[in-house]
Amino acid sequence: MYNKGDDSYLRQPKFMKPEVYTRMFERIKDHCAEHDLKSFAITIHGGEPLLVGKKYMRDFIRTGRAILEDVEVVFSLQTNGILLDNEWCDLFEEFNIRCGISIDVSQSSHDMYRIDHQGKGTYARTIAGLRIAQEHPYVKKSCGALAVIDVNTDPTKVYDHFDSIGIRGIDLLMPDNNYADLPAGMNKNYEEEKKNTPYANWLIPIFDRWMADHGRIRIRLFRTIVNLILGRKIGNDALGNVNSNLIVIETDGGIEPVDSLKICGPQFTKLGLNVMRNELKDIFMMDLYQKYYHGKTRLPETCQSCAISAVCGGGFLPNRYSHTTGFDNPSVYCLDLLKLITHIQNVVVAQFTADELAELEIEPLTYEEALSFINGQSWQSSLVA
């Protein structure tokens, strides 16, 4: 997202000052008290969080635990793994921090996109950190991976790649793109897109392999879709039928909606709010946050007639943006999601008897049938926006 034109990070401190994170925790405490929240999830993200060093991290966590003593705080951390060592793993255990490692779908993809300041790939160093995490008694139980999809890689080898490096839990993410910056493998021709669907075509072989392996590796994307097809009220920012409720606190104390919205334009997430002078709830009054929060229920017209909208939830809000129509578009990955979800639904349907399907209210649905629910002209106008 920081390579899409928003360079606001250059004008922010590299690390959050103690007075800023102290005030942040106080705002969280007030928010939990006002809304009677007994638990709160905090993800330490970056950039690269481990660059702050172990002393800073201990001070940060201890401050948060002390201020939020009456709240069950679930801390998690996302790292590139390069700085991971046994001392970091011991610290995660000491403070009960869940750890995720960013590692892409192949060595070639990782080394192309995750480079150091000398332009060198970091795959080998990430794997070295992963090995340390996998050998630590505490970290290995909760350590999962996060990977961005690369349709230029061979999907038939991706499952084996993660299996070979011992990954037992992974989330596969669509790249941060929208109509102003189309994803790799896509073009602006609707008829061609109906045939192309590069992201569905990449994911389906992995799903089929995952099913054949009885879901031995936890792949969040597939598990979420299956549960949504079965009618469960779950979801995340990218899928499902629940409101999006993430808040980002930047290093300068700025209160912002989800950071991937930065792909929509420079300063796009800058709302003028800061923990030093604002309460967390102030962001709920902002139009951009309202669009994000209600993104799964206030859907574009095209999505409202779609057979799988309750599963995809219109897709991730940043992926719906265009310069001309804002967020009033289906996801740029609309047809890929349609094809993937209908494929998964038909596989799920095959696991049940007719009576069970009637009780679950699930029916077979082909991609072509689902496509007929979409107003093609509306979708095309979004693509060329």
CA nearest to 200, candidates 308, 310, 326, 106: 308
Model confidence pLDDT, tens digit, residues 94-134: 999 999 999 999 999 999 999 999 999 999 999 999 999 99
Is the pLDDT at 187 greater than 90? The verdict is no
Domain end among 234, 258, 291: 291
At which residue do the structure tokens 């007639």 appear? 305
- Rounded to the nearest 10 degrees, what angle do helices 155-164 and 198-212 cross at? 50
pLDDT at position 270, please?
96
Question: Does the residue 196 lie in any domain?
Answer: yes
Q: Is residue 162 part of a domain?
A: yes
Mean pLDDT of 332-350: 94
Residue type, 2: Y
Q: What three-state secondary structure class fits 76?
A: strand
- Name the helix (H) or strand (E) containing 21: helix 18-34
Burial class (CB in 10 A: 0-12, 13-18, 19+), 31: middle
Q: Count how many domains the chain has.
A: 2
Question: What's the pLDDT at 193?
Answer: 58
pLDDT for 194 beyond 60: no
If you average pLDDT over residues 192-217, what whole number do you get? 90
| Complete edge-to-edge strand list for the sheet that includes strand 98-102 | 39-44, 72-79, 98-102, 144-148, 169-173, 218-219
Evaluate whether 247 touches 304 at the Cβ level (below 8 Å). no
Average pLDDT over residues 213-233: 94
Are 131 and 155 in a shared domain?
yes
Give yes or no: residues 107 and 195 share one domain: no
Instruction: Find residue 43's DSSP bridge partners.
Output: 76
Domain for residue 2, yes or no?
A: no
* Separation CA 88–CA 101 (nearest Å): 13
Domain that holds residue 94: 8-175+247-291
Q: What pLDDT does 127 receive?
A: 97
How confident is residue 359, by pLDDT bands cut at 50, 70 and 90?
confident
User: Are both 63 and 151 inside the same structural domain?
Assistant: yes
Instruction: Please state whether the peptide bond connecting residue 231 to the residue before it is cis, i.e. omega within 30 degrees of 0.
Output: no
Give domain status of residue 283, yes or no. Answer: yes
Band (pLDDT 50/70/90 cuts) for residue 33 is very high
- Let me know whether 233 and 268 are in one domain: no
Q: Strand 255-256 to strand 248-249: parallel, antiparallel, or no bridges (unpaired)?
A: antiparallel
Query: Are 185 and 277 found together in one domain?
Result: no
Pairing outcome for strands 98-102 and 144-148: parallel
Average pLDDT, stretch 219-238?
92
Residue 152 phi, psi dihedral angles, 5° rounding: -85, 0
Pair (138, 204) in one structural domain:
no
370 and 281 in one domain? no
- Same domain for 91 and 210? no
Q: What's the chain's length in residues?
A: 385
Q: What is the pLDDT of residue 384?
A: 38
